[in-house]
Structure 1
């Protein structure tokens, strides 16, 4: 069993806490030494109490799922004898009410554009199968109750 950690650091500074008008800005540090500015989403907590230039939990979730999918896709493509030169995805998360009536990310849309090279280029059905296998293997997707839609196109 692997354990993953993230360390969050937030301070109130001189803001009054009881009125709710405190900054949601904080930092998240990871074991590799990366420190990332973070905040609540400006869609959830309006500016200036949140930070537009920081990553929010919803963005991190979408990025984690898209990254997990991509990493499995690259590995399965390699195992299939294909060469990927580039993989670009502008992933989107959709917030709404889930089947329990709770506000949640209900869908993540992956929009990968893949550039292939080499002598063996996959057919569209093979690309769909690579995405299917990647989705089934992705740890983050396996932890998500919502829908993952895979669109996008392939560049050859």
Structure 2
């Protein structure tokens, strides 16, 4: 078991463009004192220059998948030279008249180096294993798909 923490700090300030409400901007502090400026998404009166919680969730799923992919590839003797992804999350209405992240699509682009090169079947197997093992994906109800064509 491991424990993971962050610090969230918000202070009341007027909204930059809407005098009838408050600013959604806040800071998240992570290990190593990294600070991330966060706000609501623009659709919910957030600051477009800040990350929003939905982006952070989508990024966490992509990052977790990548880290498992890299570990599995290395274990199988493949050398990954680069890994890029532009994940997309879909915030949609649910049956309970609310909103939820219903699906996340990962689209990784991976370059391999070294003497042992995986074929498409091997890459698909590594993705499937990473998908099964990703802690974040296993913690959410959103459907996560991998577009690895």
- TM-score scaled by structure 1? 0.87
- In the other structure, the counterpart of 2:127 is 131
User: Which of 25, 35, 49 is 1:53 aligned to?
Assistant: 49
Answering whether residue 72 of structure 2 is matched by residue 76 of structure 1, we say yes
- Per the TM alignment, residue 124 of structure 1 is displaced from its structure 2 partner at its CA by 0.7
- In the other structure, the counterpart of 2:137 is 141
- Report how many residues are paired: 146
Q: Which has the higher helix share?
A: 2
Answer yes or no: is the 8 Å Cα contact 2:77–2:116 preserved in 1: yes
Determine helix, strand or coil for the equivalent of 1:22: coil
Determine helix, strand or coil for the equivalent of 1:90: coil
Provide the rounded CA distance (Å) in 2 between the counterparts of 1:6 and 1:80: 34
- In the other structure, the counterpart of 1:7 is 7
Provide the rounded CA distance (Å) in 1 between the counterparts of 2:21 and 2:97: 28
Provide the rounded CA distance (Å) in 2 between the counterparts of 1:101 and 1:143: 22
- In the other structure, the counterpart of 2:34 is 34
Q: Which runs of 4+ in 1 moved over 3 A?
A: 98-102
Determine helix, strand or coil for the equivalent of 2:77: coil
Which runs of 5 or more structure 2 residues have no equivalent in the other structure? none
Moved more, 137-146 or 6-15: 6-15
- In the other structure, the counterpart of 1:150 is 146
- Per the TM alignment, residue 99 of structure 1 is displaced from its structure 2 partner at its CA by 5.2
Provide the rounded CA distance (Å) in 2 between the counterparts of 1:14 and 1:95: 27
- Per the TM alignment, residue 101 of structure 1 is displaced from its structure 2 partner at its CA by 4.8
Answer yes or no: is the 8 Å Cα contact 2:14–2:21 preserved in 1: no
Determine helix, strand or coil for the equivalent of 2:32: coil
- Per the TM alignment, residue 144 of structure 1 is displaced from its structure 2 partner at its CA by 1.2
